[in-house]
A and B are shown apart, each in its own frame.
Chain A
Amino acid sequence: MKRLCLGFIVSFLSATGYGQELTWDSFRAFGGGDGVRCQYDENNPDAANTYLDAFGPNATFVFDSFGIDLPRVFGGGKLDYEASCNIEAFVTIPQGHYIETLSQTILFSVKKGRGALGGVSTNGFLFQDQIPINQINLEFLPDERVDTDLADRSNTQIFDPIARALQCAATALGPLKTKFKFQMLAIGVRPLPFIEFVTNIDSGDFTFELQPTIRRCG
């Protein structure tokens, strides 16, 4: 009888609960460089052009206009343009768990004339900069014209045993508040200044998704 009751309770709990979940707490985005800078500060949300939609383990960063526009300049002027966006996303890993996998997805649009060089790359870390996150690199070469309304790139990373051990040690005594750090870099190089050209790299909408999965240690 006791076994039946216990079975019922365990069945009920496992059936109705999600188990432990990673939670996204807050984030900050700030940028620099020549292009359209990303910006989000919870103390000044009206000035934001970057948004986070986090629910359960899923996070979506939406950039209204992150990127660069290479100006159509005839003659002299600057050739290299760069826009950076730094994101810090604070998360809580439940006690006794580690992040097992992380899926990253970028959705982007690019319009680039022949002759101009451009690209976007991500560079991320987790857990006090000790755990590097796989980069996504987009590169658009000078000899091709790119006119992409919407495209995506993604990768899924399985963290190695060292990364797991680090996290398990840190979550052994309680939930761990830590952060993901990402820097995105958009680079554009326009052709030589003495050539008249009609080319540009237009910034468009840009989204960045993070979807971690967690697993119990041990």
Chain B
Amino acid sequence: MMKQSLLILGSLVVESMVYGQTAIIERVRTLGRACSVDTTATNVSPDGQAITLTFSEFAADISDGQSYVRTFCRVNMDLLVPENVAFTIASVDYRGFVSLDDDVEANHWLSFGFGGSMYTFETMAFAGPIFEDYAERVWLPISNESYSPCSRRQNRVRLRLHNVVTLRQNTDQEGYIGVDSLDAELNQPLGLVLKWKNCNL
């Protein structure tokens, strides 16, 4: 009887550990002209709950004779998600610097999603003249379609954050925008927040 109780208890402990309501960041990869492995520092916290990306070349500049420039950085976060739980993102934090002459515009775009449909929208817009550091928390739209797919077992899902910055001008002015860092945290009120829902409800 004692052994049976221990086995039942053991089973419950294992299940509660594995089926906990927490997604874990297993792996982060950056791709694109602006964030090659050589120019991006990726730090995942030991508990797999937070990431900080620091960029040294995620920047675009525009000068005489150019009307439009762009660059991009793709961030793929591979998450281990418990069964019957679906996640979505609440926010992303960006820090950077922008310097624009008069009549120069800078825009930051984000496309995010777990596969299938992506949510694409403009997150920040700057108009010159401007010369300042920026720190922006971008809150993302949330709907049923933006949640990760439900699964009856623990599974891997890829959270995609596709970041694009653009510069435009119609005159011979100059401009620069750089993204220094992106912060992401799971289940925390700061940074990138993953919200979750019970798939059985």
**Interface residues in chain A, defined as those with a beta carbon under 8 Å from any beta carbon in chain B:** 1, 4-5, 7-8, 11-12, 14-19, 21, 51, 53, 55-58, 60, 62, 64, 103, 105, 107, 109, 111, 149-152, 154, 156, 202, 204-205, 207, 209, 211
Contact = CB atoms under 8 A, between A and B. Distances in A.
Nearest to A61: B31
Contact of B3 (A1, A7, A12, A14): A1
Interface string B154-170: 11111010101010000
Given A60-B76, A150-B111, A209-B160, A105 B11 contact: no
Interface size class of B (residues with CB under 8 A): 35 or more
B78 A105 contact: no
B15 A109 contact: no
Nearest to A211: B115
Interface of B: 3-4, 7-8, 10-11, 14-15, 18-19, 26-27, 29, 31-33, 68, 70, 72, 74, 76, 78, 107, 109, 111, 113, 115-118, 120, 122, 153-158, 160, 162, 164, 166
Given A8-B7, A209-B115, 20 more contacts: A11-B15, A16-B14, A16-B154, A17-B154, A51-B31, A53-B31, A55-B156, A56-B78, A56-B156, A58-B76, A58-B78, A58-B158, A62-B74, A105-B118, A109-B70, A149-B109, A149-B122, A151-B120, A156-B116, A207-B74
A150 B162 contact: yes
Contacts of B122: 149
Contacts of B156: 18, 21, 55-58
The interface centre, meaning the residue of A12, A14, A19, A56 with most chain B CB atoms within 10 A of its CB, is A56
B14 A15 contact: yes
Contact of B118 (A64, A107, A109, A111): A107
Contact of B78 (A15, A55, A152, A204): A55
